[in-house]
Amino acid sequence: MRILITRPKEDAARFAELVRARGHDAVCAAVLSVHFYDGPELTLKGVGAVLATSANGVRAFARRTDHRELPIFTVGPQTADAARKAGFERIENADGDAATLAEVVPAWIKPEDGVLLHAASAENDGRLKELLAEEGFTVVIEALYDVIPAHKLPEAAREPLARGTLDAVAVFSARSAQTLRDCIIRARLASACAHMGAACMSQSTAEGLAPLAFRRIAVAARPNQDALLDCLEALSSLG
């Protein structure tokens, strides 16, 4: 299969390696770009642990402080891997989504152990903070980066989509799905989707592609890249 990967550049390259390792061709065309905020050294007094719901949250935090002694609680394996690469000493992995992370945090730390700092994007909806507040935790949201949507379909995606040489697209979030949808519609290439499958990280991601009509849309069994790779294999088996 020839698979379109729409992740931001750094993460797309890593996922492309995994796709190629499974014998497929990968086309990288980011529809989102990450902008890290510059600023002073983060103040960590009273912080008991860091919450990270994305690899970019880890990278953004690491840019603003050299401290790695705090525990970091991550949403899934890719975020945990980013924390390992950043040099954190204690990493806990919820292996799920934000709701899963909120459920397991009380097993790793107590409210009296300190404030939880969420290394978040500017678009963070505050849901994790709300869920943990119900468990007695104080969460401080630190917006450290922004995710900027593309306004037009990248040429790397437009040409093969127009020629019908793509077999599937891997979509990682509702926002990337919505951005991809809008770019495809603006490019007047919606009809090309009928010949492609779409592997989506979650049901909300799949819903973000509507009203595009893909040949088949498959949703990963779990919100992580291994499950998404399996999703792509399932699309491949359908021919």
CB 77 within 8 A of CB 99: no
**How far apart are the C-alpha atoms of 209 and 172, rounded to whole Å?**
11
pLDDT digit string (tens) for 182-206? Answer: 999 999 999 999 999 999 999 999 9
CB 50 within 8 A of CB 61: yes
pLDDT digit string (tens) for 57-95? Answer: 999 999 999 999 999 999 999 999 999 999 999 999 999
pLDDT tens series, the chain, 239 aa: 999 999 998 889 989 999 999 999 999 999 999 999 999 999 999 999 999 999 999 999 999 999 999 999 999 999 999 999 999 999 999 998 899 999 999 999 999 999 999 999 999 989 999 999 999 999 999 999 999 999 999 999 999 999 999 999 999 999 999 999 999 999 999 999 999 999 999 999 999 999 999 999 999 998 888 999 999 998 877 65
| Phi, psi values for residue 231, rounded to 5° | -60, -45
* CATH value of 2-31+150-237 in 3.40.50.800, 3.40.50.10090, 3.30.70.100, 2.40.110.10: 3.40.50.10090
Please give the CATH architecture assigned to the domain spanning 35-146. 3-Layer(aba) Sandwich (3.40)
Residue type, 26: A
- Domain residue limits, the chain: 2-31+150-237, 35-146
Instruction: Tell me, letter by letter, the H, E, C secondary structure of 54-80.
Output: CHHHHHHHHHHCCCCCCCEEECCHHHH
**How far apart are the C-alpha atoms of 26 and 157, rounded to whole Å?**
11
